[in-house]
DNA sequence: GCAGGGTCTTGACAGTTGTCAAGAGATTCC
DNA sequence: GGAATCTCTTGACAACTGTCAAGACCCTGC
């Protein structure tokens, strides 16, 4: 008995976009729009999704995208591997959901520093310290992000999510650098994309060397970040 | 008939290192040291290795490490998939051989510019142009390199090759930047690793946006590279 | 021209993967 | 308490992977 499974809450996910967009952050909206679930049901559904996504993030950060299978993710939970296809349409939706979930925890990481630093020198020092701190604390998550971003160069299905998140990270860095410029009464010498790219390169390089056993990597990151931030300031083009 | 296959030229590869080093560029030395093959035989063997490696590079650049199978590589050649295990011990040896082969074509890419630029401004312009040129010409190879480097953060088997090649790329960039500093009678404000990291970040970011369809990416790369190179010069700390 | 060894093909193996259908439990609501 | 629905498990599927053994082809040297 009970053949309700194949058309269970599966249509709570975004069936509205059958096309090529692939981006699927419309889950909650779609579900509440149908009106099929009362509040408690949706919350429970979303809570389990989040729980599974956290297990997936742990596995992905540990093994990388290529080596992470759905069965291995499920093994990190109390459920069997089949449950993942009940809460996520396929692997791509699971991964994009994971990354978007992770994003929210880090895209405002430096905003407090930006808001509270009284002068340019303080801002640059605190920013550099924060860079080092997150490299050490969230090593696996950063590694996963770089994996995902690189994979998007080959797999178009990941591209929309990566482009979106990359833009938010660019904004995050730009807030730091433009505020530094304001405090220093200067302009920024590089393009917005360029500013993000150089700090991202500095961070990625430090992460890689840190993971490869270079114990001096974080120290270099700190000093280089301060120097770079200062160097990117130009006299205002009056 | 002919059971010579299992112990064919397989021992021409480096069986001397059974340990954990994993790096295997001692092929020619090992083969010639045994004295089992006359010159023509070795050359033929090496030529086929190179041929297969080129097909592998094409496939890897197109699909990425995760999606490239040995059968798909062989499909790009006139041979069947079994031949790859005749010329390479396993997938890791094939990949490292490929990357080391590719490396030699690009690690001296800017040396002529360094040697022949009469002043700092010329050097920076030519360097930026060369960056754009190789991004456009060797897109797939660069994408493959970033894939490999990212994968090395998860898979230790790739680490030695990546670390070695990364150091050579760092040297390559350092030659440009230190020469620029000399021509400008300045010092470099960043660490050697930092200098490489920021230019690498600039390049990687431009590559990603270029692949994502951003037609302005290469233009920004050019101007940003010139500005960055200039900004990294510090007054000599007399 | 024949033996021998280098070269390559074929076919299979064991393992893994994403996916999904069938159904069993559990929960909720009347 | 029973029916409907949500939740989750089980087991299977087809496809794919790296690997390798068996043998066929080919080419050279005697």
Asked if the model's pLDDT at residue B4 lies above 90, the reply is no
Q: Nearest protein residue to C16's C1' (by CA)? A: A69
pLDDT confidence bin for B2, thresholds 50/70/90: very low
- Which of A216, A92, A65, A225 is CA-nearest to residue A160? A92
3-state secondary structure of A234: strand
Distance CA B49, CA B36 (A): 18
Residues 57-76 of A with CB under 7 A from strand C: 67-72
The answer to whether B72 and B63 are in contact (CB under 8 A) is yes
Rounded Cα–Cα distance for residues A85 and A79 (Å): 12
Q: Do A130 and A76 fall within a single domain?
A: no
- Cβ contact, residue pair B220, A152, below 8 Å: no
> Which is higher by pLDDT, B10 or B130?
B130
Q: Do B205 and A205 touch (CB under 8 A)?
A: no
One domain, residues B224 and B132 = yes
pLDDT of residue A118: 98
B227 located within any domain: yes
**Of B82, B101, B120, which marks where a domain is finished?**
B101
On whether both B121 and B224 belong to a single domain, the answer is yes
Chain C bases near protein Cβ (<7 Å): 4-11, 16-26, 29
In a domain, residue A127? The reply is yes
Is the same domain home to A147 and A220?
yes
What is the domain count for chain A?
2
| Chain A partners within 8 Å of B159 (Cβ) | 212
Same structural domain, B81 and B179:
no
Chain segment B147-206, per-residue pLDDT in tens: 999 999 999 999 999 999 999 999 999 999 999 999 999 999 999 999 999 999 999 999
d(CA B225, CA A61): 32
Q: Note the pLDDT tens digit of each residue in B57-77.
A: 999 999 999 999 999 999 999
Share of chain B above pLDDT 70, in %: 81
Closest by Cβ to A190, choosing from B153, B206, B224: B224
Measured between CB atoms, does A84 come within 8 Å of chain B?
no
Residues B168 and B134 in one domain: yes
Number of H helices, E strands in chain A: 11, 2
Specify if B8 maps to a domain. Answer: no
> What is d(CA B41, CA B36) in angstroms, rounded to the nearest whole number?
9
B15 domain-assigned: no
pLDDT at residue B40 is higher than 60: no
* pLDDT, position B29: 33
Whether A59 is covered by a domain: the verdict is yes
Query: Which tokens hold the place of B196?
Result: 């490489």
* Contacts with B197 from chain A: Cβ below 8 Å: 201-202, 204-206, 224
Residue A115 sits in the same domain as residue A95: no
CB pair distance less than 8 Å for B190 and A151: no
Asked whether residue B205 is assigned to any structural domain, the reply reads yes
> What per-residue confidence (pLDDT) applies to B7?
34
| Separation of alpha carbons B162 and A209, rounded Å | 11
pLDDT score for B28: 34
* CA–CA separation, B81 and A234 (whole Å): 57
Q: How many helices (H) and strands (E) does chain B have?
A: 11, 2
Range of the domain at B35: 23-101
A61 and A148: one domain? no
Q: What is the pLDDT of residue B103?
A: 82
Chain A residues whose CB is inside 8 A of the B224 CB are: 190-191, 193-194, 197
Residue B238 predicted with pLDDT over 70: no
Same domain, A198 and A117: yes
Count how many pairs of residues, chain A against chain B, have C-beta atoms within 8 Å: 134
Query: Are A211 and B153 in contact (CB < 8 Å)?
Result: yes
Tell me, what's the pLDDT at A41? 63
User: Among A42, A70, A101, where does a domain finish?
Assistant: A101
Q: How confident is the model at residue B21 (pLDDT cuts 50, 70, 90)?
A: very low
Q: How many CB atoms sit inside 10 A of residue A52's CB? A: 23
Domain boundary among A58, A82, A101: A101
B144 lies in the same domain as B227:
yes
**Minimum Cα–Cα distance from B150: chain A residue:** A147
**Using alpha carbons only, what angle is made at residue B77 by residues B74 and B79, rounded to the nearest 5 degrees?**
70
Instruction: Report which DSSP code applies to B78.
Output: S
Query: Rounded to the nearest 5°, which phi and psi values hold at B3?
Result: -95, 25
pLDDT in tens, chain A (238 residues): 333 333 334 333 333 333 333 323 233 333 333 333 444 567 788 999 999 999 999 999 999 999 999 999 999 999 999 999 999 999 999 999 999 998 888 899 999 999 999 999 999 999 999 999 999 999 999 999 999 999 999 999 999 999 999 999 999 999 999 999 999 999 999 999 999 999 999 999 999 999 999 999 999 999 999 999 999 998 765 5
Position B237 confidence tier, pLDDT thresholds 50, 70, 90: low
Integer angstrom CA distances of residue A233 from A120, A187, B59, B100: 11, 6, 43, 39
Instruction: Estimate in Å the CA B97 to C1' D26 gap, whole number.
Output: 28
- Among B162, B231, B233, most A C-beta atoms within 10 A, so best to mutate, is B231
Whether residue B94 sits in one domain with residue B66: yes
Which DSSP state fits A188? E
Cβ within 8 Å, pair B151-A147: yes
Note whether residue A12 is domain-resident: no
CA atoms within 13 A on the CB side of B4: 3
Q: What is the pLDDT of residue A15?
A: 35
| Listed range (A215-229, B35-49, B156-170, B221-235) with the worst mean pLDDT | B35-49
Residue B104 banded pLDDT, cuts 50, 70, 90: confident
More confident residue, A117 or B238: A117
Nearest chain A Cα distance for residue B48, angstroms: 28
Tell me, what CATH number does B92's domain have? 1.10.357.10
CB contact under 8 A, B64 and A155: yes
Same domain, residue pair B87 and B167? no
Identify the CA nearest to A226 among candidates B59, B189, B93: B189
Within a domain: A143: yes
Q: Which of B197, B211, B212 sits opposite A202 (nearest CB)?
A: B197
State which nucleotides on strand D lie below 7 Å from a protein beta carbon.
Answer: 4-11, 16-26
């Amino acid at each position: 008995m009970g053949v309700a499974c194949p058309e269970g809450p599966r249509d709570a996910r975004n069936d509205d976009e059958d096309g090529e967009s692939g981006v699927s952050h419309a889950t909650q909206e779609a579900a509440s729009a149908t009106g099929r679930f009362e509040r408690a049901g949706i919350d429970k559904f979303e809570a389990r999704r989040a729980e599974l996504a956290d297990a997936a993030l742990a596995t992905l950060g540990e093994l990388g995208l290529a080596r992470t299978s759905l069965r291995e993710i499920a093994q990190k939970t109390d459920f069997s591997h089949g449950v993942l296809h009940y809460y996520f349409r396929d692997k791509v939706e699971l991964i994009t959901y994971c990354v978007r979930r992770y994003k929210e925890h880090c895209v405002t990481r430096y905003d407090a520093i930006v808001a509270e630093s009284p002068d340019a020198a303080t801002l640059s020092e605190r920013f550099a310290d924060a860079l080092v701190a997150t490299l050490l604390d969230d090593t696996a998550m950063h590694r996963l992000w770089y994996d995902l971003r690189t994979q998007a160069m080959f797999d178009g299905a990941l591209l929309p999510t990566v482009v979106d998140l990359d833009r938010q990270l660019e904004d995050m860095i730009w807030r730091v650098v433009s505020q530094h410029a304001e405090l220093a009464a200067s302009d920024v010498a590089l393009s917005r994309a360029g500013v993000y790219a150089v700090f991202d390169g500095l961070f990625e390089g430090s992460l890689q060397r840190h993971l490869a056993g270079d114990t001096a990597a974080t120290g270099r990151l700190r000093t280089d970040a301060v120097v770079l931030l200062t160097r990117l300031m130009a006299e205002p083009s009056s």
